[in-house]
Structure 1
């Protein structure tokens, strides 16, 4: 379902993020997604930042200030592919040939598309809140996933120094070996900082009085159209939509009304402008640390490209 993928590069709490073809034990470490939340300041009584209003014509092309310090969709895919190749190669050397994960057929969003829920009316009319499929014939993967064996997990995570056959397992398992190669030459830094600050900025933007006021206007618009939701993400994440693989007529009608009400009250322009202001403040408060994160990501991607080029 849209906005809830298992492994992602964090983009707010919408889940419209980059789904990676990795098992859970591996994914978070590759892309830097963390369940932790970082606050921009220990002082939660900070005044709301000044906002410069902007017009957002396309979220696909829209960028946020912290995006500079984070893995883009393309970069995350490069790092993910390189990690997977290193990991699989290591596992094969240890005698494991099974690959207990499968890709998702859903297309990934471009840029910050989906960050504020559904915004494209044509997409809403076709898919509701479900993720658009790559083609007319694309269907969600219903094939059973292969469950990793205990021996596979041991080799992957490095919970033992050798396999049952006596082969030496690298420190941290094949996961650790792959990560070390990708991070070779990178600065010692809090690489997840930008992602945590991005999550925090997104959460703060949702709690901002200017955004909350617009949510109220959106909610009233939805009520007049026959839908009761206090905020856009309540409609977006309605559990009703998760009961089927295809959107229902009610879901489509809700999503279309959602888009229309966002347009009517100018919600995306206001929310994106406020969100931008919080990210700018986060950068100002963490400039030196973020510069180190940016250098880490640059070297990490260069290492990943080098891995892929030699294969």
Structure 2
């Protein structure tokens, strides 16, 4: 885009200090609220460092920028042929986005790992060990006046703008019951076993995903180094 005189800003992805990999599989609340100190301060509300920052506002692309960025990529609602050049420079096939994809590859293919991540979570909740520990946790919560079948249910309630004393007390009880019943330890163990089985079944496909990702990273590093040197 810079070759054509445009300043194209690439937004950085947000990563929480509590979730340094920015990865859904490492969500700090994958199994519900689990930290005593956080529950005592914020209840079921996320701590400030868990809330993604608002994305920086960006101006929509002008027609000229869009033409250079997309080139001859078919666009809904567009009429007439796409321009082949801009200010005397030939626009590459499918624009700058197409050129970037040809240099870097199609990027990181996350569908299979995400499917395994989702499947292991859903399957884990049906294992006898996890359903049993859910019952124990539910019994513990009921002794304190709270009626929930699973530890995910409290997270589905609509939260007020700020944490109330009642919410904080329930969250503290939730964490205490998890600790008493070893809910997190049991759930992690069961889901980890399922994930290992799914990984073994999809080992060849996952190896290809990893190889493709490695090539993309290597190409990216090369392009960045060339850009820095020029």
Give the TM-score, by structure 2 length: 0.70
Q: Where do residues 153-168 of structure 1 align in structure 2 (5 Å cutoff)? A: 158-160=73-75, 161-162=82-83
Do the aligned residues in 2 keep the contact of 1:191 with 1:296 (CA within 8 Å)?
no
Structure 2 unaligned runs (5+)? 76-81
Are residue 272 (structure 1) and residue 179 (structure 2) matched? no
Q: 2:171 aligns with which of 255, 266, 274?
A: 255
Query: Among residues 7, 13, 19, which one is paired with 1:109 in the alignment?
Result: 19
| CA deviation vs aligned residue, 1:26-85 (integer Å, no higher than 9, x gap) | xxxxxxxxxxxxxxxxxxxxxxxxxxxxxxxxxxxxxxxxxxxxxxxxxxxxxxxxxxxx
Q: What is the CA–CA distance in structure 1 between the aligned matches of 2:148 and 2:34, rounded to whole Å? A: 16
Q: Which residue of 1 aligns with 2:47?
A: 132
Deviation at 1:217, TM superposition (A): 1.8
Q: Are 1:210 and 2:129 counterparts?
A: yes
Greater share of residues in helix: 2
Match of 1:195 in 2: 114
Specify the alignment match of 1:45 in structure 2.
Answer: none
The number of equivalent residue pairs is: 212
- Is residue 2:213 matched to residue 1:297? yes
Match of 1:223 in 2: 142
Q: What displacement does 1:230 show?
A: 2.0
1:148 aligns with 2:63: no
Pair 268,168 (structure 1): closer, same or farther in 2 beyond 3 Å: farther
Q: TM-score, normalised by structure 1?
A: 0.54
On the 8 A contact 2:109/2:213 being kept in 1, the answer is no
- Asked if 1 retains the 8 angstrom alpha-carbon contact of 2:85 and 2:91, the reply is no
What SS is found at the alignment partner of 1:130? coil
Structure showing greater radius of gyration is 2
Residue number in structure 2 paired with 1:181? 103
Instruction: Report the Cα offset of residue 173 of structure 1.
Output: 5.1
Aligned 8 A contact 2:137 2:178 in 1: yes
CA–CA distance in structure 1, aligned partners of residues 220 and 10 of structure 2: 22
Unpaired segments of 5 or more residues in structure 1?
Answer: 1-89
